[in-house]
Amino acid sequence: MSDVSAVKPGTEIGQIVSGSLLEGLTMKLHPEGSVEDIRAGRFVVIEGAKNHYFSMITDVKLGTSTPGLMDDPPHRDDTLMRMVLSGTSTYGTVELRPMLMLPKADLNALTPTLSRQGTGEGVSQDDLRPVKTIPGHFSPVRTATEADVSRIFGGEEADSKFFHIGAPLDMDEIPVCLNLERFVERSNGIFGKSGTGKTFITRIALCGIIKNRKAVNLIFDMHSEYGWKGTFEGGRDAVRGLKQYFQDRVAVFTLDPESARRRGVSVDFEVKIPFSQLTVDDIILLRDELNLTPTTMETCYALVSRFGDERWLGELLKMDSDDITTFCETNNVNQSSLSALQRKLRVLAESCRSFLIDDSQHGIDVDAVRQIVGYLQSGKHVVLEFGQHSHPMQYMLVANILTRRIHSAWVRMKEEAQSGGQAEPPQLVITIEEAHKFLSPALAGQTIFGTIAREMRKYNVTLLVVDQRPSGIDPEILSQVGTKITCLLNDDKDIDAVLTGVSNASGLRGVLASLDSKQQALVLGHAVPMPVVIQTRTYDDEDFRTSMARGSGTDEQSVRRDIDKDFA
């Protein structure tokens, strides 16, 4: 950006003149500074007498000490008067939100370590404390330096748990790192309007997790953009997918082998789901899509009690009108609701026929779920592509069925591990898109995703929720989301939803609404010590490729060669 040099890191920009712990601090801008150089979301440091306060700019205002000035502003040609008034009678004030404090004594003790290592190593993030007081009047405020950033967010070189996801606003080249260990241990959310770069940030986060081996991933890839090639808005060539970066550590599963063949994707496994895997809960999840009433759902239970968990669907679809009449008479079920249910489920079976198969007729040779669990257990990451079957109904059905079974496998493994003997199941991160469909207030209590989001890390399974409509997600779940990476959101309801469970959210609202529409995100929550606005790093550029190849366990040259070959 051309205006980066306007305010260099470490420049003093003003003094604290008022404020409160609850409402944030007000800084008067130095007369020589221009308000136009100050941008919401920028990371600044207030140097109090005893502490450093790491803060974020939340608002910029124009102030005047002379009331009459507003009635009779100087003429636009009156350069002298404008220069005289600037910084005296008229001035800029900046609202700051202090996020963390660090006692100055600690800082001095840490500095030698910092300079020796040249990284954030030796700086314990435990020394950073939540802000419990505020700096005195006239404390100087300066823009943050690279040392400040690495002190707070850690450095990639220092520890493999840190992963570079971007740079603070106006501070290109200075990495902000995500603490991956903390990231994967809770459910996380990546939000933003359509086209703001959610998918790219998700890819970057996933690359970090895979590269640093912090968890295994299961990605429900609705639009087939993670596994193999992804698309770049704005006409640039396709970008590499996870499979190209991490070769044998990523397996691509697909529901639509046709589409995979057309796109030239090498698929590891084709997923088929037998009727016997469908439970009533899966059908309930689709009640909006299938327009089901509560009565029809009760009817499902009647079928289950008659035919059992595995056969009910197959039996229902096979029924003819006589069967229905007989069944209704013997089981005290409303005939019209049973026929409605049959009709609707036939629609479902029809629309999903390429992967949903009647195992009572065909039999099924390999259980896809067991395959996926096996891959995940052995530490391989699984991308499930939906190909053409990206209708929400299909996506939700498959995601729910698979996740439910994977979750129960994980619960079993975890319980076995607790009883001793068995190894703990690996930390699993499940990535879902269009999450509001699974986690809406009406459904969150019933779907497996709601359960995972709530019980969180107890069973080593967490969610990575990617969504453009966070207001559609149950607030109870949103408040439990550990780390939120939020791109631009305009809708007030969505902004409110993202800031649920965040203290002192008022200042962040403005920051969120003023993000650029591309490659900028507000990161807050468990994996970062303080909320920060970042310019996200560019996915799949030269730098990213190099850093992925580095330390990935294999010879760097050969990885680079493989990546390039795949893409030639």
Within 419-530, residue ranges assigned H as helices are 448-455, 475-478, 492-498, 506-513
Q: What's the first-to-final CA gap in the chain, in angstroms? A: 31
CA distance 45 to 52: 7
How far apart, in Å, are the Cα atoms of 495 and each of 169, 192, 510? 20, 10, 10
Which CB atom, from 91 or from 459, has the smaller least distance to another protein? 91
Cβ(250)–Cβ(380) below 8 Å = yes
Smallest distance, Å, CB 495 to another protein? Answer: 39
478 alpha carbon, distance to own chain's centre: 12
CB 327 within 8 A of CB 278: no
Q: Which is nearer to another protein, 68 or 553 (CB)?
A: 68
Task: Tell the smallest beta-carbon distance from residue 81 to another protein (Å).
Answer: 5
Dihedral (C-alpha) 545, 228, 163, 148: value to the nearest 10 degrees?
A: 70
Between residues 21 and 83, which has the closer beta carbon with respect to another protein? Answer: 83
Selection from 417, 406, 5 nearest residue 219 by Cα: 406
To the nearest whole angstrom, how small is the minimum distance from the Cβ of residue 60 to another protein? 22
Q: How far is the CB of 142 from another protein (least distance, A)?
A: 15
Tell me whether residue 69 or residue 109 sits nearer to another protein (CB atom): 69
Least Cβ distance, residue 145 to another protein (angstroms): 22
| Interaction site with another protein (CB under 8 A) | 31, 65-66, 68-69, 72, 74, 78, 80-81, 83-85, 87-89
Instruction: Find the shortest distance in angstroms from Cβ 71 to another protein.
Output: 9
At closest approach, how far in Å is the CB of 84 from another protein? 3
CB of 74 to another protein, least distance (A): 8
User: Measured from the CB atom, is 90 or 394 closer to another protein?
Assistant: 90
CA–CA gap between residue 90 and residue 33 (Å, rounded)? 12
Residue among 289, 285, 319, 288 at smallest CA distance from 302:
319
| Residue 161 to residue 329: CA distance in whole angstroms | 62
- Residue 90 phi, psi dihedral angles, 5° rounding: -120, 140
Smallest separation, CB 514 to another protein (Å): 31
- One-character DSSP codes across 42-53: -EEEEE-SSEEE
Is 87 in contact with 31 (CB distance < 8 Å)?
yes
Q: Which is nearer to another protein, 31 or 426 (CB)?
A: 31
Is residue 238 within 8 A of residue 556, CB to CB? The reply is: no
Q: What's the CA gap between 439 and 479, in Å, rounded?
A: 12
Select 31 or 257, whichever has its Cβ closest to another protein.
31
Strand locations in 405-556 (E): 428-433, 461-467, 483-486, 520-525, 532-536
Segment (H or E) for 352: none
Looking at the Cβ atoms of 17 and 238, the one nearer to another protein is 17
Between 31 and 392, name the residue whose CB sits nearer to another protein: 31
The residue assigned the tokens 């068995």 is: 422
C-alpha–C-alpha distance, residues 520 and 538, integer Å: 11
Question: Of the two residues 79 and 418, which places its CB atom closer to another protein in the complex?
Answer: 79
Q: How far is the CB of 63 from another protein (least distance, A)?
A: 12
Nearer to another protein among residue 69 and residue 366 (C-beta): 69
C-beta of residue 477 within 8 angstroms of C-beta of residue 454: yes
- Distances from the Cα of 532 to the Cα of 55, 249, 425, angstroms: 9, 32, 33
Among the listed residues 468, 407, 528, the one whose alpha carbon sits nearest the alpha carbon of residue 189: 468
Give the distance between the most distant pair of CA atoms in the chain.
Answer: 96
- 221 has which bridge partners? 385
* Distance in Å, CB of 72 to another protein, minimum: 7
CB closer to another protein out of 85 and 96? 85
Considering the complex, state which of residue 81 and residue 109 has its C-beta at the smaller distance from another protein.
Answer: 81
CA distance 398 to 402: 6
The helix (run of H) or strand (run of E) holding residue 491 is none
Q: What is the nearest approach in angstroms of another protein to the Cβ of residue 93?
A: 16
Q: How far is the CB of 88 from another protein (least distance, A)?
A: 4
